[in-house]
């Protein structure tokens, strides 16, 4: 079954009672049992542990990522936290990419240590750098590719091989490319994390997350963390995200094509110092991106000549682009990572990771690309 067919039909069957083509929203706290002896006979008891609407979305994402099973969460960070809680214990060591979403960095830096977990941040774009920091007590390697916000790319297959040879799990965040463009489990990763808030929803309508795993053992461990910490996705969010996912491929194709056009245009602008987009031959990991993914995504980052102040002026001058946190929506968004999404990362660590004060992050939406370029051109002329 092809990807587009699965994104429409996987996990969804007409309601047996009414014939409704859309999975109903089972807005119920609890589920009545037939008898004590047949407890959980229908598969559900209390919505913190599972819900039919949420389950339908989980089955759809499992099919799209070609995984073993999926658990859905109240946010992307809830999904990440469930992985850490379910797989780590005091005394463990984890390796985390030096460029990840700011919330991931914050939790790893400020909370994992409270539970006795040691964290090492390493340049995940260099497999040798990952190998160098591995220890006997290392339990997992956490990557994000392309990385937020610099779009640095990790060789997922190489890192998976390093982790596997050491008996270590490889966890990767696939939010930016989605399973339409990249399927890390096929490259050897064990766990894939999504902020479903982003491209899977696609409409700035929900907050959610998901974890896709390659084995029943891993599924049981993260599902236990979810029910214990109360991190489950709500039925309404699951229902809305399922509808968004049905058009994922069409949105990703259009948004990515526009992103490439905008990146090329920015690369020739005299007020732009540099542009990072994995689809540009000038990107350091262009060949790797072309090999491990079928598309380059809708995210672009660049630096305006003049640094932070000029970048802020640019973001305050755009009209069609919305200055906001989030990404992956049909609306085009512009973000200043240093003051918004990655403000929790210490300045010296941001600089080492390439998250400069003047960095501008674009999430390209579905508007006419000519209008998006015209708006950027007009804003750049005023800075």
Structure tokens at 117: 């977990």
Does 240 have pLDDT greater than 90? yes
Same domain, 197 and 255: no
Which of 245, 270, 297 represents a domain boundary (last residue)? Answer: 245
Does 138 have pLDDT greater than 80? yes
Cα separation, 231 vs 207, whole angstroms: 12
User: In the prediction, which pLDDT does 353 show?
Assistant: 67
Segment 239-265 mean pLDDT: 98
Same domain, 127 and 227: yes
Cis peptide before 146 (omega within 30 of 0): yes
User: In the prediction, which pLDDT does 343 show?
Assistant: 64
Same domain, 21 and 45: yes
Same domain, 176 and 314: no
User: In the prediction, which pLDDT does 41 show?
Assistant: 85
Does 341 have pLDDT greater than 70? no
User: In the prediction, which pLDDT does 67 show?
Assistant: 98
What is the average pLDDT value for the chain, to the nearest integer? 95
Does 129 have pLDDT greater than 80? yes
Same domain, 164 and 279: no
Cα separation, 95 vs 127, whole angstroms: 12
Query: Each residue of 92-123: pLDDT tens digit?
Result: 999 999 999 989 999 999 999 999 999 999 99
Q: Which of 214-218, 330-334, 343-347 has the lowest mean pLDDT?
A: 343-347
| Confidence class for position 307, pLDDT limits 50, 70, 90 | confident
Helices assigned H by DSSP within the chain:
3-9, 52-65, 76-87, 102-110, 127-133, 156-165, 178-181, 216-229, 235-245, 248-267, 286-292, 307-317, 347-353, 369-381
User: In the prediction, which pLDDT does 175 show?
Assistant: 98
Instruction: Tell me the β-bridge partners of 69.
Output: 213
Same domain, 15 and 147: yes
**What residues make up the domain containing 220?**
3-245
Asked whether 277 and 151 are in contact (CB, 8 A), the reply is yes
Q: Which of 14-23, 182-191, 195-204, 305-314 has the lowest mean pLDDT?
A: 305-314
Does 351 have pLDDT greater than 80? no
236 alpha-carbon distance from chain centroid:
20
Starting at the edge strand found earlier in the chain, the sheet holding 93-97 runs 69-73, 209-213, 191-195, 169-173, 138-144, 93-97, 118-122
Segment 345-353 mean pLDDT: 72
Does 142 have pLDDT greater than 70? yes
CATH code of the domain in which 318 resides: 3.90.1150.10
Same domain, 172 and 43: yes
Which of 245, 266, 294 represents a domain boundary (last residue)? Answer: 245
Cα separation, 138 vs 362, whole angstroms: 35
User: In the prediction, which pLDDT does 305 show?
Assistant: 87
Residue from 249, 272, 244 nearest 362 by CA:
272
Same domain, 172 and 252: no
Catalytic residues: 48, 101, 173, 198
Which of 245, 260, 293 represents a domain boundary (last residue)? Answer: 245
Percentage of the chain lying above the pLDDT 70 cut: 98
Task: Output the pTM of the full model.
Answer: 0.95
What total number of domains does the chain contain? 2
Phi, psi angles (nearest 5°) of residue 166: -95, 5
Same domain, 269 and 234: no
Same domain, 205 and 262: no
Same domain, 141 and 204: yes
| Confidence class for position 352, pLDDT limits 50, 70, 90 | confident
Same domain, 97 and 232: yes
User: In the prediction, which pLDDT does 179 show?
Assistant: 98
User: In the prediction, which pLDDT does 338 show?
Assistant: 74
CATH code of the domain in which 123 resides: 3.40.640.10
């Amino acid at each position: 079954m092809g990807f587009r067919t699965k994104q429409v039909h996987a996990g969804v069957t007409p309601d047996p009672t009414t014939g409704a083509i859309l999975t109903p929203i089972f807005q119920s706290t609890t589920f009545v049992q037939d008898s004590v002896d047949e407890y959980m006979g229908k598969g559900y008891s209390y919505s913190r542990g599972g819900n039919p609407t949420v389950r339908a979305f989980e089955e759809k994402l499992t099919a799209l990522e070609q995984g073993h099973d999926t658990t859905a969460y109240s946010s992307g960070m809830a999904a990440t936290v469930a992985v850490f809680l379910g797989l780590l214990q005091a005394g463990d060591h984890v390796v985390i990419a030096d460029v990840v979403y700011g919330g991931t960095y914050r939790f790893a830096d400020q909370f994992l240590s409270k539970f006795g977990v040691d964290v090492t941040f390493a340049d995940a774009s260099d497999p040798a750098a990952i190998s160098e920091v591995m220890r006997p007590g290392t339990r997992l390697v956490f990557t994000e590719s392309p990385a937020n916000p610099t779009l640095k790319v990790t060789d997922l297959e190489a890192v998976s091989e390093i982790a596997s040879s050491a008996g270590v799990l490889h966890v990767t965040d696939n939010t930016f490319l989605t399973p339409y463009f990249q399927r890390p489990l096929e490259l050897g990763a064990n766990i894939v994390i999504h902020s479903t808030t982003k491209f899977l929803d696609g409409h700035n309508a929900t907050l959610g997350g998901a974890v896709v795993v390659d084995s029943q053992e891993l599924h049981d461990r993260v599902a236990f963390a979810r029910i214990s910490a109360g991190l489950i996705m709500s039925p309404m969010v699951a229902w809305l995200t399922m509808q968004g996912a049905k058009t994922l491929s069409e949105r990703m194709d259009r948004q990515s094509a526009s992103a490439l056009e905008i990146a090329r245009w920015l690369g020739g602008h005299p007020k732009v110092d540099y542009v990072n987009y994995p689809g540009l031959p000038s990107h350091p990991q262009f060949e790797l991106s072309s090999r491990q993914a079928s598309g380059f995504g809708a995210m672009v980052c660049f630096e305006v000549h003049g640094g932070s102040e000029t970048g802020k002026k640019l973001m305050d001058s755009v009209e069609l682009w919305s200055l906001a946190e989030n990404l992956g929506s049909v609306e085009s968004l512009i973000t200043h990572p240093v003051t918004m999404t990655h403000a929790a990362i210490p300045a010296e660590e941001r600089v080492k990771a390439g998250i400069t004060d003047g960095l501008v992050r674009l999430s390209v939406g579905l508007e006419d690309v000519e209008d998006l370029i015209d708006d950027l051109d007009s804003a750049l002329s005023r800075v």
